[in-house]
Amino acid sequence: MSPLVWLITGSTSGLGAALTNYIASRGDKVIATGRKVEERLGHLKAANVALLELDITAEATTIATQARKAWDIFGRIDVLINNAGVSSMRSAEEADDDYTKNMFEANLFGHMRVTRAFLPLLRSQGEGCIAFTSSSTAWAGLPFMSQYAASKAALSMYAECLHKEIAPLGLSLVSHYMANPMSHMPGDLAKAAAFMVDVVTRNVKDTEVSTQEPTSRKWAVRVALGSDGAGFVRQKCTEMLRLLDDWQEASTGTDRDGEASDAVREMLEFTTII
């Protein structure tokens, strides 16, 4: 299979830098983007590594222009990784409008603008994958991180809804729930980058397999990275099921009398993520 072309936002540090290094090392082509990207990643420029200035909080017209430039570098893009973002702690009482707006611009609205800019190109190409770096805080609310958690939860749901829109177009999507790789937590950025690439490329390979040879693992729209990330998700799901059982009467008690459950059943089938 020919090398894939990847574009990564927020490539200048953290997980974005780890993704850039790993993808380049495996022989694929990568367009690393971010603020001051030439200054910070100039040493990585190579035949298969291109750099492009891209601030995802810029105006939509600016992002659309940069998206077209990115596309023209290698003539296609197979995988768009929406990875850029910010994280900080502040009490809900002290989080003013500017703080909240900046958080949502970097963690949600910017990704929406970037995705919107690339969707027409990917749709015309007829194939491709869009990936998002979300956070385990979308599942596990932490004190003093309400704005960050809310922005990531919104991003995760945006990604899930988008998947349902673009799947019929031949495009795939995955949202990775990344736990914070702090020193006292088990996360490893290099391993996370490699696994994210494996998730995407596994799907690329699977689409080329004959329908006579079913693959062993279905495509996942949501993937938790790290034992802590998976633990947060599992705990929330377990506790939510317990709450649903405890409050079953309240949940079903609001239905209209005599209404059939067919509509509910159909909606649940329509919204499944597996």
Residue 99, number of CB atoms within 10 A of its CB: 13
How confident is the model over 47-94, as pLDDT tens digits?
Answer: 999 999 999 999 999 999 999 999 999 999 999 999 999 999 999 999
- List pLDDT tens digits, range 200-213: 987 444 444 333 34
Task: Write down the pLDDT at residue 212.
Answer: 38
- Which of 141, 177, 188, 154 lies closest to 14 in space, CA to CA? 188
Phi, psi of 34 (to 5 degrees): 160, -175
For residue 166, CA distances in Å to 116, 123, 174, 216, 257 come to: 12, 8, 12, 23, 37
Give the lowest-confidence range in 2-11, 162-171, 260-269. 260-269
- For the annotated catalytic residues, the residue numbers are 134, 148, 152
φ and ψ of 131, to 5 deg: -120, 150
The C-alpha atoms of residue 208 and residue 210 are separated, in whole angstroms, by 6
Cβ-based neighbour number of residue 140 at 10 Å: 18
Query: Is the pTM higher than 0.85?
Result: yes
pLDDT score of 214: 38
pLDDT tens figures, 238-256: 999 999 999 998 888 888 8
CATH superfamily, domain at 5-248+259-271: NAD(P)-binding Rossmann-like Domain (3.40.50.720)
CA neighbor of 105 nearest in space, from 139, 162, 63, 77: 63
Q: Which two tokens stand for residue 240?
A: 């939510």
Length of the chain: 274
CA distance 88 to 68: 32
| Lookup: tokens for 215 | 């693959």
Is residue 112 within 8 Å of 60, Cβ to Cβ? no
pLDDT at residue number 181: 53
